[in-house]
């Protein structure tokens, strides 16, 4: 994205989850190549030329540890480390409130350490079309809808299905309006859903099959393999 210098870009890194499926390990501080996942995500946002400000959202028990990381690494773009809320969308809202006069917002999961500056830049470019864009990859498996008895009721057409990732990029006025709408009271799984419910079009752009979310210890092992393949 060739950014207008007047259009400030902020990043909100959400890392306030509970890590229930990580076997007692707090995933954002799990090590990948000797560095915590959170460190690697912040590093990428720090290196991204288009990002001007970074807000990191952590669970209250992790605030001190997160603030210590920021102090150690001296990331110049990190302006705030703030507590998350009960739901992911509450955490994002807390992060949005701490951005300073940003025209665009990049929202990214702290548990996706294999994001690249290129993916972020592509998202910013795609978002100029509609004001909202999310990274996504085409589904490669067959998807079926089943009832409560696990009986198949429908097979979906795979060519129309995408798996949604982060980063998700929005014009600040759009995401702010979505979070202040009545729809924000509903539980949603990503920020784009609130934007869709508010009546805006959301553009999909190509993410990466490597841009996985770390949810289980097996995901961490896979990330190590993918990182090794990319560096090799």
Distance CA 154, CA 143 (A): 9
Q: In the chain, what's the furthest Cα-to-Cα distance? A: 56
Q: How far apart are CA 140 and CA 138, in angstroms?
A: 6
Q: How confident is the model at residue 127, as a pLDDT?
A: 97
Q: What digits encode the pLDDT tens for the residues 115-151? A: 999 999 999 999 999 999 999 999 999 999 999 999 9
Q: What pLDDT, in 10s, does the model give residues 174-224?
A: 999 999 886 667 788 899 999 999 999 999 999 999 999 998 889 989 999
Q: Which domains does the chain have, with CATH numbers?
A: 9-231 (3.90.550.10)
What contacts 122, CB < 8 A, 6 or more positions away?
135, 205, 206
| pLDDT single digits (tens) 153-171 | 999 999 999 999 999 999 9
pLDDT, tens only, 55-102? 999 999 999 999 999 999 999 999 999 999 888 889 999 999 999 999
pLDDT tops 80 at residue 21: no
pLDDT confidence of residue 67: 95
Is pTM, for the whole model, over 0.95?
A: no
CA pair distance 166, 96, nearest whole angstrom: 16
- pLDDT given at position 186: 76
């Amino acid at each position: 994205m060739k950014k207008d210098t007047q259009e400030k870009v902020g990043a909100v890194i959400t890392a306030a989850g509970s890590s229930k499926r990580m076997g007692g390990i707090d995933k954002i501080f799990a090590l990948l190549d000797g560095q915590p996942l959170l460190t690697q995500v912040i590093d990428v946002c720090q290196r991204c030329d288009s990002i001007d400000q970074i807000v990191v959202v952590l669970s209250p028990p992790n605030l001190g540890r997160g603030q210590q990381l920021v102090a150690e690494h001296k990331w110049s773009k990190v302006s705030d480390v703030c507590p998350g809320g009960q739901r992911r969308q509450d955490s994002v809202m807390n992060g949005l409130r701490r951005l300073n006069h940003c025209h665009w917002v990049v929202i990214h999961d702290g548990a996706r350490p294999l994001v690249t500056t290129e993916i972020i830049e592509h998202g910013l470019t795609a978002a100029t079309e509609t004001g909202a864009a999310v990274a996504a990859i085409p589904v490669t498996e067959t998807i079926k809808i089943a009832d409560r008895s696990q009986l198949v009721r429908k097979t979906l057409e795979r060519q129309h299905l995408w798996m949604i990732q982060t980063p998700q990029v929005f014009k600040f006025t759009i995401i702010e309006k979505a979070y202040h709408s009545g729809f924000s009271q509903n539980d949603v799984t990503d920020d784009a859903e609130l934007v869709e419910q508010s009546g805006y079009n959301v553009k999909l752009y190509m993410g990466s099959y490597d841009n996985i979310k770390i949810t289980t210890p097996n995901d961490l092992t896979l990330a190590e393999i993918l990182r090794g393949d990319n560096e090799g």
